[in-house]
Structure 1
Amino acid sequence: MDQFAYVKILEEVTLPYAEEDMPLKWVFQQDNDPKHTTQSLDLNPIENLWGDIKNAVSEAKPRNVNELWNVVKESWSGITAERCHKLVDSMPHRCEAVIKNCGHTTKY
């Protein structure tokens, strides 16, 4: 799938579904998958948490789906409120970095 197919799915499937079935306020989040639109800067702190989980999976080298789920669940349950607060508190610095780089890639 390339970015054009992805955008088409968003426009023709995701948005109509959301407008019809989720009439209240909602938020759509993307990760840093390469096919996602280039305008979606990676400012979402949850990306760091997904990175933590990916690292845990990589280190554990699960051999089957059950082992994979166990690693993911254990890693997810190990995320502390302190870690989340630290990531959220980094948002002003993330925004400043984006502004300083005129919207281009940052260390975040």
Structure 2
Amino acid sequence: MDWPPESPDLNPIELVWGNMKNYIRKKNVRTVDYLRDAIFEYWKTLTPEVCRNYICGIMQKMERVVEQEGRNIYEGK
């Protein structure tokens, strides 16, 4: 079965993971317990409004991909 090309930039959860990693990195986590606390602390920031913003941002990127006929929307930047 052929699978369509994938792009993490068009997947809202990938943006969440990236932002969570940045958040945790800034916390300078040193223990597993502190890591768990930081993850839960970040996860609580994911309100419906924040999630909606992630999704709306992806929709805008998808529109740009269509306009670019599938080409990289970041080229030339």
Unaligned runs of 5+ in 1: 1-36
TM-score using structure 2 length: 0.73
Percentage of matched positions with identical amino acids: 30
Higher helix share: 2
What count of residue pairs does the alignment treat as equivalent? 71
Determine whether 1:46 maps to 2:13.
Answer: yes
Alignment map for 1:1-80 (pairs within 5 Å): 39-41=5-7, 42-80=9-47
Shift of 1:83: 0.8
TM-score using structure 1 length: 0.55
Unaligned runs of 5+ in 2: none
Over aligned residues, Cα RMSD in angstroms?
2.2
Larger Rg: 1
With a CA cutoff of 8 Å and minimum separation of 6, indicate the structure with the bigger relative contact order.
2
1:66, 1:94 → 2: CA distance? Answer: 37
Shift of 1:103: 2.1
> For residue 66 of structure 2, what is the aligned residue in structure 1?
99
